Copies of this chain bind each other. A is one copy, B any other.
């Protein structure tokens, strides 16, 4: 089996490492020679090819920044074999879903691995990146079922669990579960800088700000791409914190207590799973 990877950054590099096995041939492409070199040094791929060569694989993973995903898809579609399956890794499905609905190509499977790292580049790629992670796929009415199963089988080979959902549900959920945490972390590190005092933070702060310094280029694209759903998620958080703030201002310990009671129950519900 041959695998093509377009974009040899953190995610593309990790897909390569996670899929490298004697019976799979991994060919990678990246327009940036530095990215190609790092991915090669870290043994993420078996060989380097042109975009046209990589597009000949059985399955092609697109792991490119959001603003390039549609143009990369168009280029791969021109060059690929009819049976080549193409899947992407983009964190917001809006533009990609619009394009797929227009083109109606059954071999294109919309996807998004729920894994990452606060640093960028194949330098931080890991064969274990996707172990235990969910990998969302958004097949639509005309997506070929065999293509979806082929992508799912590769996802499982990487140690991840495929989950199917419609693109719009993906965007709504990921606004809360991924984009909002990045917005919060970014705001918190700015607050810490404005405190202008010795760093006396502990573990909870360290955890909440881990993703506070992510790549501005990539994350501006992601936020703008999913801006409607993310604005809604920020509004939801503001309203919950606003209720808590009013309770604090009015010394209303009953409301504070029920905030924590509800939170503990919610946290437990997700731990059982």
Is A78's beta carbon under 8 Å from chain B?
no
- Which partner residue on chain B sits nearest A231 by CB separation? B248
CB pair A186–B242 under 8 Å, yes or no, is no
Query: What 0/1 readout, one digit per residue, does chain A (254-273) give for beta carbons within 8 Å of chain B?
Result: 00110111111111111101
Given that A197-B173, A263-B186, A270-B189 are contacting pairs, would A211 and B220 also be in contact in the complex, using a CB cutoff of 8 Å? no
Q: Is chain A's interface secondary structure helix, strand, loop, or mixed overall?
A: helix
Given that A201-B114, A263-B190 are contacting pairs, would A256 and B207 also be in contact in the complex, using a CB cutoff of 8 Å? no
- Which partner residue on chain B sits nearest A223 by CB separation? B256
Number of copies of this kind of chain in the complex: 2
CA distance A223 to B211 in the complex (A): 25
- Residues of A in contact with B (beta carbons under 8 Å apart): 114-117, 133-134, 136, 163, 165, 169, 172-174, 176-178, 180-193, 195, 197-205, 207-216, 219-220, 223-224, 227-228, 230-231, 233-238, 240-242, 244-245, 248-249, 251, 253, 256-257, 259-271, 273
A-B contact pairs, 27 of them (CB 8 A): A114-B202, A163-B198, A172-B195, A174-B200, A176-B195, A177-B200, A180-B191, A181-B204, A183-B244, A184-B241, A186-B260, A186-B263, A187-B237, A190-B263, A192-B266, A192-B270, A213-B264, A213-B266, A214-B264, A220-B256, A224-B256, A227-B249, A227-B251, A230-B248, A234-B241, A238-B238, A238-B242
